[in-house]
């Protein structure tokens, strides 16, 4: 479900986390980050784009390019494919896009739903304070909101964290029902504004620490996915476990009650070390449920097991820093040293 836009750009395609009431992790670390002065820069690309002077498109486009730099090219050439080496053709495409009635309606709805983005900015600022505490050598990205033409919720490059606000307008948003192919219900119910911050931090972590799926085995993907959930525990300590995992509370409860059964299934069927992409997609991709398990199970059940393995690994290595965990490239090492064994 993730798509690389270029060698240094990672997009998080259709990754959502559901907002529900569920108990928070009891041992979530919570350092004092009040002294950190993390000033987030937030730019509203969709407002500037749809507010451009359509009578003077060349000047307006040049102004946008000067203001947004590399992100402008990312948006035009890769997110929306509006860009073209022929400047006159690009002007024509951009004009058609920003004057389209439907997209103008979407831009207006974004403004109504998110206003000045102040609440999300405050929450992201706090999350990046924790991020800076755990990753002091890392830079803080500029936050850019955008209208992605229903393509990407989160897009990241080296300096920008882009948030496609058109992907967070509510599960019953009118335009979601017009998309082809239709969005399945398990995705639509997650397209809520409450998920913006969690998805943004998840996307930022994945842009740096997601492993290469092309050479991964099931166990590698499980642990990689579980490690991202652990990252969210540190930078969003007040988040619920279900939301970090992208499960409903009842799905998480099912996993907790059936953890040993799930683990035994992977072991008994010799699935852990399979590199078959079809097998991997069954157990490490999002969905309404997981193949071969009851309908009460969540999609991507492998993420839950991976999270539990990482949790066991951290208990075995209590002095290990989050930065060290995230930079570990050997998923098998984490597995072997975790001593993971689900309770009966």
pLDDT digits (tens, 9 = 90+) for 20-71: 333 334 455 689 888 888 889 999 999 999 999 999 999 999 999 999 999 9
pLDDT tens-digit series, residues 254-309:
999 999 999 999 999 999 999 999 999 999 999 999 989 999 999 999 999 999 99
Structural contact between residues 210 and 224, judged by C-beta atoms closer than 8 angstroms: yes
pLDDT tens-digit series, residues 132-151:
999 999 999 999 999 999 99
Per-residue pLDDT averaged across 104-110, rounded? 98
| Domain shared by 178 and 225, yes or no | no
DSSP labels, 319-332: T--HHHHHH---HH
For the chain, how many structural domains are there in total?
A: 2
Final residue of a structural domain among 173, 208, 243: 208
Select from 34, 66, 255 the least CA-distant residue to 132: 34
| Domain shared by 309 and 276, yes or no | yes
Helix residue ranges per DSSP H, 236-327: 241-245, 249-257, 259-268, 277-284, 301-316, 322-327
Per-residue pLDDT averaged across 201-222, rounded? 95
| Domain shared by 102 and 192, yes or no | yes
| Domain shared by 257 and 193, yes or no | no
343 in any annotated domain: no
| Domain shared by 217 and 198, yes or no | no
pLDDT at 37: 80
344 in any annotated domain: no
Final residue of a structural domain among 179, 208, 237: 208
| Domain shared by 40 and 168, yes or no | yes
| Domain shared by 331 and 227, yes or no | yes
| Domain shared by 165 and 273, yes or no | no
pTM: 0.89
Q: What is the DSSP letter of 295?
A: T
| Domain shared by 197 and 253, yes or no | no
312 in any annotated domain: yes
pLDDT at 28: 57
pLDDT at 23: 34
Find the domain containing 311 and state its range.
Answer: 212-338
226 in any annotated domain: yes
Quickly state the pLDDT bin for 89 (edges 50, 70, 90). very high
């Amino acid at each position: 479900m993730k798509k690389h836009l270029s060698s240094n750009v990672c997009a998080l395609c259709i990754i959502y986390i559901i907002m529900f009431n569920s108990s928070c992790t009891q041992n979530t670390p919570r350092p004092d980050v009040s002294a950190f002065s993390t000033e987030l820069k937030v730019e509203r690309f969709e407002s500037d784009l749809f507010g451009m002077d359509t009578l003077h498109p060349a000047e307006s486009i040049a102004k946008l390019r000067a203001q947004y730099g590399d992100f402008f090219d990312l948006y035009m050439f890769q997110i929306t494919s509006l860009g073209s080496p022929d400047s006159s053709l690009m002007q024509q495409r951009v004009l058609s896009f920003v004057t389209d009635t439907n997209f103008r309606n979407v831009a207006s709805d974004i403004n109504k739903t998110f206003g000045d983005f102040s609440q999300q900015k405050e929450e992201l600022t706090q999350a990046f304070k924790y991020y800076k505490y755990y990753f002091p050598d890392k830079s803080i990205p500029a936050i850019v909101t955008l209208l992605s033409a229903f393509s990407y919720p989160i897009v990241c490059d080296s300096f920008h964290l882009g948030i496609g606000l058109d992907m967070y307008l509510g599960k019953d948003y009118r335009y979601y029902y017009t998309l082809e192919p239709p969005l399945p219900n398990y995705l639509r119910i997650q397209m809520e504004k409450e998920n913006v911050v969690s998805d943004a931090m998840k996307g930022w972590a994945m842009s740096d620490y997601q492993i290469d799926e092309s050479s991964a085995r099931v166990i590698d993907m499980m642990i990689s996915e579980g490690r991202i959930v652990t990252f969210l525990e540190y930078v969003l300590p007040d988040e619920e476990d279900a939301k970090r995992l992208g499960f409903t509370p009842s799905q998480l409860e099912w996993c907790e009650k059936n953890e040993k059964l799930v683990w035994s299934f992977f072991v008994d069927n010799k699935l852990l070390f399979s590199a078959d992409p079809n097998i991997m997609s069954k157990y490490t991709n999002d969905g309404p449920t997981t193949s071969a398990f009851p309908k009460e199970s969540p999609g991507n059940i492998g993420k839950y097991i991976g999270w539990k393995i990482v949790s066991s690994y951290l208990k075995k290595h209590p002095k290990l820093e989050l930065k060290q965990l995230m930079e570990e490239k050997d998923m098998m090492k984490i597995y072997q040293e975790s001593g993971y064994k689900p309770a009966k």
